[in-house]
Amino acid sequence: MSGANESSAERLLARPGVQRVPTDKAEVFQLRGFVPEAMRSELIALIDADRRPSTIADDNGDRYFRTSETCDLSADIAVVRELEDMLTALSGIAPHFGEPLQGQRYDVGQEFKPHTDYFAPGGADFHKFCSVAGQRTWTFMIYLNDVAAGGGTRFKALKKTFQPEAGKLLGWNNRRPDGRVNPNTLHHGMKVRRGLKYVITKWYREKDWG
């Protein structure tokens, strides 16, 4: 898979500091120190100023499935544009395939139970979310702060848990090499035990967004 709407392991690993999880089950990467401190502080302030309860697609009736708060980040804001440019340079994916940046805030006890970022084919909301822009392809998530305790991101099938670390980016391909969605990307935003957790998430699509 290649093109303006695609990234690749080769491209990501060409960036100094990028590490890949050693598995053939999924393409998952990390890069420490991706976002500098001043940017992180600005982004945290934006999230705090405009957060709302998070929601999920294909609601399963579990009101405690995703208990964080969410903030949509407008590209009209300088620091948001700067981060968008950094992600474009890293991934190589043209900006018009990306959803708007989203921030999340997790307080003590809040989590996002095991889920995938792609929309379940045949799920109740699949047509609603994928009919125009197509399926989600790549995810890039950035920790904005260190967390006193808890708040890791666990990929059970990969037997890998990433701990929050200020400025660290995680990236993964939500599909298998043949283009089918990859259930091995199931991940759990684990409960925060002490402190707060702030993250930024960027999702890309198969087709133009919006």
Q: Considering the domain boundaries, does residue 2 fall inside one?
A: no
pLDDT band for 78, please (50, 70, 90 cuts).
Answer: very high
Cβ neighbors of 25 (< 8 A, separation 6 or more) are 157, 158, 182, 184
Tens digits of residue pLDDT in 21-62: 999 999 999 999 999 999 999 999 999 999 988 766 655 555
What pLDDT does residue 210 have? Answer: 72
Domain membership of residue 1 (yes or no) is: no
CATH number, domain of 117, equals 2.60.120.620
| Residue 187: strand, helix, or coil | strand
Domain region containing 181? 9-205
If one counts the domains in the chain, the total is: 1
Q: Which residue has the higher pLDDT, 109 or 61?
A: 109
Answer yes or no: is 4 within a domain: no
For residue 41, the model assigns a pLDDT of: 98
- 3 lies in some domain: no
pLDDT score for 118: 94
On whether residue 210 sits in a domain, the answer given is no
- pLDDT digit string, tens, across residues 116-141: 999 988 877 788 889 899 999 999 99
Residue 154 falls within a domain, yes or no? yes
Tell me, what's the pLDDT at 45? 97
Q: Is residue 122 part of a domain?
A: yes
- The 3 state secondary structure assigned to 93-108 is CCHHHECCCEEEEECE
pLDDT band at 100 (very low <50, low <70, confident <90, very high): very high
Q: What are the DSSP E strand ranges found in the chain? A: 19-20, 28-31, 52-53, 69-72, 102-106, 112-115, 136-143, 149-150, 153-155, 160-162, 169-173, 187-189, 192-194, 197-205
